[in-house]
A and B are shown apart, each in its own frame.
Chain A
Amino acid sequence: GESVGLHLPTLSVQEGDNSIINCAYSNSASDYFIWYKQESGKGPQFIIDIRSNMDKRQGQRVTVLLNKTVKHLSLQIAATQPGDSAVYFCAENGGDYKLSFGAGTTVTVRA
C-alpha cells in the first residue's frame, strides 16, 4: 500500500551543525506535506509545510525541499541546537483532508 516513510530512524548531530532529515513518499496524488516535531510527552508540533506546486520553502532555521520526481521530502535544520532534539515526522495529505504519518526520525544533538 501507499505510505510515508523516513530513510533513517535515528540521526545524531553535533550542536551547531546543520541537520538533514529525509522522507520518501509513494502516493503521487499527495499535494500537501508537513513536518512535525514531537518532544517526549507532548503531541506533534507543526514546523513547516509545503504544497506540491512548490519545490522549496523556508522558515526560521528550517527549510523543506520537495522533489516530486523521486517522491522525496527533506527537512533541513540550520545550526542545530539542543532544543532541536526530538522525533521528527513527515506527513502527507493524499487529497482527502487526512494526514498520513511516517514512522519518524529521532534526532539527538551532541554538545
Chain B
Amino acid sequence: EAGVAQSPRYKIIEKRQSVAFWCNPISGHATLYWYQQILGQGPKLLIQFQNNGVVDDSQLPKDRFSAERLKGVDSTLKIQPAKLEDSAVYLCASTPGSYNSPLHFGNGTRLTVT
C-alpha cells in the first residue's frame, strides 16, 4: 500500500510569512495526526482528526496555527505568521482508527524560518 504522502519536503520562509503543508494519509485511515519535531527531540502532537472532525487540538498554538481535514481525507496545516521557533519538521501520521494500532508516518516537511 502507498504510504503517507507529504509536501513540500522542504520550505524556507522569513518570519511573519505564512506557510502551508499538505498531507495525504494511507487510503482508508480514519485518524490523522500532525506532529511537530524540533531538532534533537521526539515528535510532539499538534492536532488529531477522526475523519473530518477534530479530536484533540489542545497542543496547537491556535493564534498562529490552523489545520483542516476536509472530506475526511487530505489535510493541510497552516502557520500564519511564522516565528523563528516554528523551525522544525512537521510530520503527518495516520492510523485505521482502531485502538492500539501503530501510527504510520510520512517523511515530513522540514520548515526553516529565518
Chain A residues at the B interface, C-beta cutoff of 8 Å: 4, 31-32, 34, 36, 41-46, 49, 51, 89, 91, 93, 96-104
Contacts and interface: CB of A to CB of B under 8 A. Distances in A.
A83 B40 CA distance: 20
A101 B42 contact: yes
Contact of A42 (B45, B48, B95, B107): B107
B14 interface: no
Nearest to A90: B42
28 contacts: A31-B100, A42-B107, A42-B108, A43-B4, A43-B91, A43-B93, A43-B106, A44-B43, A44-B91, A44-B105, A46-B104, A49-B100, A49-B102, A51-B100, A89-B42, A89-B43, A93-B100, A97-B31, A97-B55, A98-B45, A98-B48, A98-B56, A99-B103, A100-B45, A101-B42, A101-B43, A101-B44, A103-B42
Nearest to B98: A97
A32 to B, nearest CB: 4
Contact of B108 (A43, A98, A104): A43
Contacts of A101: 42-44
A93 B99 CA distance: 10
Contacts of A99: 45, 103
Nearest to A106: B40
Contacts of A4: 42
Nearest to B4: A43
Nearest to A93: B100
A97 B48 contact: yes
B102 A104 contact: no
A97 B105 contact: no
Contacts of A36: 105
Pairs of residues from A and B, 9 with the lowest C-beta to C-beta distance, nearest first: A101-B42, A43-B105, A32-B100, A46-B102, A43-B107, A44-B105, A101-B43, A42-B107, A103-B42
Contacts of B56: 96, 98
Given A42-B107, A98-B33, 20 more contacts: A31-B100, A32-B100, A34-B102, A36-B105, A43-B93, A44-B91, A45-B105, A46-B104, A49-B100, A49-B102, A91-B42, A93-B100, A96-B56, A97-B48, A97-B55, A98-B45, A100-B45, A101-B42, A102-B42, A103-B41
